[in-house]
Amino acid sequence: MTKRLYYDSSEIHEFDSVVEHVVPSSPEQARPSVILRETAFYPTSGGQVHDTGWLTLDSGERVRVTEVADAEDGRVVHYLEAPPRLPVAGAAVHGSIDAERRRDHMQQHTGQHVLSAAFVELYQMPTVSFHMGEDYCSIDLATASLSSAQIVAAEKRANEIVYENRPVRIRYVSRAETEKLGLRKLPPAERDELRLIEVADFDLSACGGTHVEASGQIGSILLRKTEKVRQGTRVEFVCGDRAVRMARRDYSALSEAAALFSTQLWDVPGQIRKSADESRLLRKQKDDALDQLAELMASAALWDHPETNGRRIIVRAFSDRDITFAKLFAQKVTRVGTPAVALVASALDPPGLVFAQTPGGSADVGALLKRVLSAVGGRGGGSRDFAQGGVPAGSKINVEQLLREAAGTIEA
């Protein structure tokens, strides 16, 4: 088993070690990897993601460590960015951990302990899983619901623990002893000696991760989105520097929105509501105006066209109106009382056709539309009294010509 230096201190960022085993890259394993006698690199486990960093070889050459993982036999595998020359077994190496990345993980992970304990203390809601992502972290709480008041209260309590700057200690105890201690989180059953992380007088749980030395180093804990998941409720959160960066990003987005509305940040929701109301009203006014326009145009068209064989046939291709307006116009033409047939189109690309007749008329506009469209590769259909369809975009079909031809077949 690899000796894990991070077990005793998360502040070991530089260490000397010896290469025990080297696996060169192969078709099965794209990146070469090494196992060291001891390491301060943290492998992905328990929800916390791995460290990255460098190994400096005897020759002075620096090799990038891109990923660190636990092997099943208890050894820690360091995956390397393919170096020109691999170290050999028995060689001395110097390890350096990306300290900024490690600090971020310590802040998130210790913040999670405090937050999980706060949810237990206030609402007896246990944490069933923890996830650390690139941008934010989340815990899943075993609860079907979580109110915004509870979120605010848990966030407040967790930050109180941060401000009190309580020591965070590492303790090793036997499994038997833990029964008496009342741990928030028990470890997998197979281990005899347990590593406990204690946030003084607040939380005690078994954990193999890296943590800060005092709760003040968490910086701050900010709760964000919550959502229902299969096992309960997921709570997203960010700690320390991530909380500051996230707040900065939110502020920039909100400032930009406020500038667009020429208003203060806190007035943005009100402005959005006002603007949505205005757009709804304008849409309604536009719809009403189009309805009136279609009605007037339909009356004028009927007025202009003499009756033949007891009905009026109105043919109209709109070059500047969409299919919705064409449909409205066809409805107005055929619903005013005087028997009529409307053969209407929108010539915008893609062109659309609407055929209608006063209900109960002698034509079958559904069949007519199908016939006209199938001749030009279009599709559509409907009933005897109303049908609609279209031709493919970019087909350069003269829709007015198409309508004239259709009119010709029912005039005859």
Chain residues binding Zn ion by CB under 5 A are 109, 207, 209
- Gap between the Cα atoms of 28 and 116, Å rounded: 40
Question: Residue with the closest Cβ to Zn ion?
Answer: 207
SS3 130: strand
Nearer to Zn ion, 25 or 45 (CB): 45
Tokens describing residue 319: 């070059």
Tokens describing residue 102: 């490690």
Residue 34 Cβ, how far from Zn ion at the closest point, in Å? 26
- What letters, b where the CB count within 10 A reaches 16 and e where it falls short, cover 124-159? ebbbeebebeeebbbbbbebeebeeebbeebbebbb
Q: Compute the Cα dihedral for 40, 44, 49, 52 and give only its sign.
A: positive
Nearer to Zn ion, 108 or 357 (CB): 108
Residue 82 Cβ, how far from Zn ion at the closest point, in Å? 33
Nearer to Zn ion, 17 or 48 (CB): 48
Residue 94 Cβ, how far from Zn ion at the closest point, in Å? 27
Nearer to Zn ion, 109 or 332 (CB): 109
Q: Which position has the token pair 């996230």?
A: 246
Here the contacts of 180-188 (C-beta below 8 Å, separation 24 or greater) are 184/116, 184/117, 184/120, 184/126, 185/116, 185/127
Nearer to Zn ion, 104 or 295 (CB): 104
- Gap between the Cα atoms of 69 and 129, Å rounded: 20
Residue 207 Cβ, how far from Zn ion at the closest point, in Å? 3
Residue 162 Cβ, how far from Zn ion at the closest point, in Å? 16
Nearer to Zn ion, 6 or 386 (CB): 6
Residue 152 Cβ, how far from Zn ion at the closest point, in Å? 25
Nearer to Zn ion, 50 or 109 (CB): 109
Of the candidates 235, 164, 237, 172, which has an alpha carbon nearest to the alpha carbon of residue 198?
172
Residue 253 Cβ, how far from Zn ion at the closest point, in Å? 32
Of the candidates 354, 347, 351, which has an alpha carbon nearest to the alpha carbon of residue 319?
347
Residues 277 and 374: beta-carbon distance below 8 Å: no
